[in-house]
Amino acid sequence: MTQPRRRTVLRTMTSIVAAGVLVGSLAGCAAGSGGTTAPEDIPAEGIDDGSTLTLWTRAPMERQAKLLVEAYNASHENQVELTVVPNDDYVAKVGAAAGSGGLPDLFAADIVYVPNWVEQGLFQDITAQIDQLDYKADINQGHLSAGTYEGGEYVLPFVLDLSMLMWNKELFTEAGLDPEKAPATLEEFAEAAKAVQALGKDGVSGTSTGLNCGGCLLFTWFPTIWASGAEVLNPEGTESLLASDTAKDVYSIWQDLYEAGAIAPGSEEETGATWVAQFQEGNVGIMPYPATLLSGLEFDAGVAGLPGLEGGASTFAGGDGIGISKDSKLSAQAWNFLQWMMSEDAQVEVLAKDGNAVSRVDLANNEYAAADPRLVTINEVAGEGSTPVAINFQQAFNAPGSPWLALVRGAVMGDGAEIDSDNDEITAILGQ
């Protein structure tokens, strides 16, 4: 692949489907002078001198953010004051603060917004500091790529939210399928879904998705295209490649599932708020599913990467990135938090201990993940995933009525006659 590999239903969807658009006040923002310590003068571990740092995060990441902040505050002289902002208010709050010079020292951002906010100059350049990390090559490359602009690096992974293939082992057994064997291809996935559907159990469906939710669809379908050896965007993020033969084959398999009645009722109008609910209730056989919700399942579920048309595995490396804001005057102290956040102590003893994916491939098989092989799988597949980078990603893909949504609905519930023109419309938005 040429691109770098980028506990409630509501919580998951707000981390996937970003709301709102970049407000106008950001348009005139340029990179500020930043902290009083020049970037090249910041020590490798930053400064821990008892300063008070401010950090903003979106509500979907509240649990992980609180765990990280509490652990940092308990072990450092510096203290971080955390502000959790409702997801729907976050973009406007960041925009207003950026325009008035009032951003916090550190702030996290949905990874689909990171390229835009980096280009607008909202984050300080931390290339020199990231380059000093001896495990840089093991950091999730999708998040690093999303935060790279004109050769400079501006963000690190904050919290990963990964798309994985999950199946209900009990329903697999009832359908005569091997509950311990993951479908190796998208066609095998479809066959498994049809087998569960054929059970004829009241309220049980073969699979489920959100066919009126652009974020759900890209989160779960892009990885199949990547695993098939194709791309969804050009490297510059200005051209859509979603009318390729590979992409059309993916749509065709989902169209067949739709026509076979193997997709859960309600999927046609599902906008995202409840798109995983039926699986959580044990009423769906197999589906692409957010890794962050694995621990909340009350039944035994199998876990694997999302397969391609002929094998392979990939994932959408979603979630949030984090960086030092242009307005911070405590750059060295803020870096102290960031470098600790990427350390084994934070990644393993805070995030992995709580059942979260780690942001470093070299820490994938940690002691907490080892207790559940599925977590090892999630961590390992994270290294095979991707995060698409595009300035106008929101408008092209996540927005209600986006051309991506029109493309999928036409390809799955229609005759697919407008796939090419819808793809051209995506490109037109990306290139604006």
**Is the Cα torsion angle 124, 125, 131, 132 positive or negative in sign?**
negative
Task: Classify residue 8 by its DSSP letter.
Answer: -
Quick one: tokens of 64?
A: 């992980």
Q: 7 pLDDT band (50/70/90 cuts)?
A: very low
pLDDT at 389: 81
Please give the residue that has the higher pLDDT: either 400 or 281: 281
Tens digits of residue pLDDT in 166-199: 999 999 999 999 999 999 999 999 999 999 999 9
**Is the Cα torsion angle 141, 143, 149, 152 positive or negative in sign?**
negative
User: Are 303 and 166 contacting, i.e. CB atoms less than 8 angstroms apart?
Assistant: yes
Tens digits of residue pLDDT in 18-40: 333 333 333 334 343 344 455 56
The answer on pLDDT for 100 being more than 60 is: yes
Rounded Cα gap, residues 220 and 17, in angstroms: 12
pLDDT at 35: 44
Tens digits of residue pLDDT in 408-430: 999 999 999 999 999 999 999 99
Mind giving me the DSSP string for 315-340?
A: -BEEEEEEEEBTT-S-HHHHHHHHHH
Quick one: tokens of 336?
A: 């102290």
Report the percentage of the chain scoring pLDDT > 70.
91
pTM (2 decimals)? 0.80
Task: Classify residue 187 by its DSSP letter.
Answer: H
pLDDT at 382: 84
Tens digits of residue pLDDT in 238-267: 999 999 999 999 999 999 999 999 999 999
CA count, 13 A, side-chain hemisphere, 205: 20
